[in-house]
Amino acid sequence: MNLAHCLLKVNLGINLRLFFKKRMLKHITKSPLQTKKIGEWLAKKILKEGPKKKKAQVLALSGELGGGKTTFLQGFAKALSVKRRILSPTFVIMKSFKLDGPSFNTFYHFDCYRIKKAKELFILGFEEILSNPKNIIAIEWAERVQKLLPKDRKLITFKFYNKKEREIVIK
């Protein structure tokens, strides 16, 4: 059993953080609660790092339907102190949530499942949202708008194993 395989089986403790420093985190969750906890952990890490100098923090989430993207973002939003319920904005494409912290002002949740052309996001003010370093943007189905996303985005992929297990990789 190699080191990477061992780290897949740990809890959200110090080993997970050490593995993340190598530019990639890989974890298999066995429940929605574990998926939410990874989301919480990433949000806390981003809050600790603070805003970027020139643009928003972007999370690009990709994976199959039912892969855990929204569940992950529920945990992520909880750590940002978002009080409203997080659901996929599939029909409205985008929802925004005001944040109370000093580092970030707004959390934007995009769901691009119904997007046919990436340029459709411009209608929603995506360029302006992206240009504000006080914003955090999470995009479900990010592969559909990939050409609009900054190169330094955090890419989060979800692989569906079975009813309960998901593989989450953060790069």
Tens of pLDDT along the chain (171 residues)? 333 433 434 445 434 443 454 578 888 899 999 999 999 999 999 999 999 888 999 999 999 888 899 999 999 999 999 999 888 877 789 999 999 988 999 999 999 998 989 888 999 999 999 999 999 999 999 999 999 999 999 999 999 888 888 899 999
Q: How far apart are the C-alpha atoms of 94 and 103, rounded to whole Å?
A: 22
Q: Where are the beta strands (DSSP E) in the chain?
A: 25-29, 57-63, 94-98, 106-111, 135-140, 154-160, 166-170
DSSP conformational letter for 168: E
Domains and CATH numbers, the chain: 28-170 (3.40.50.300)
pTM to 2 decimal places:
0.85
Cβ-in-10-Å burial (0-12, 13-18, 19+) of 110 comes to buried
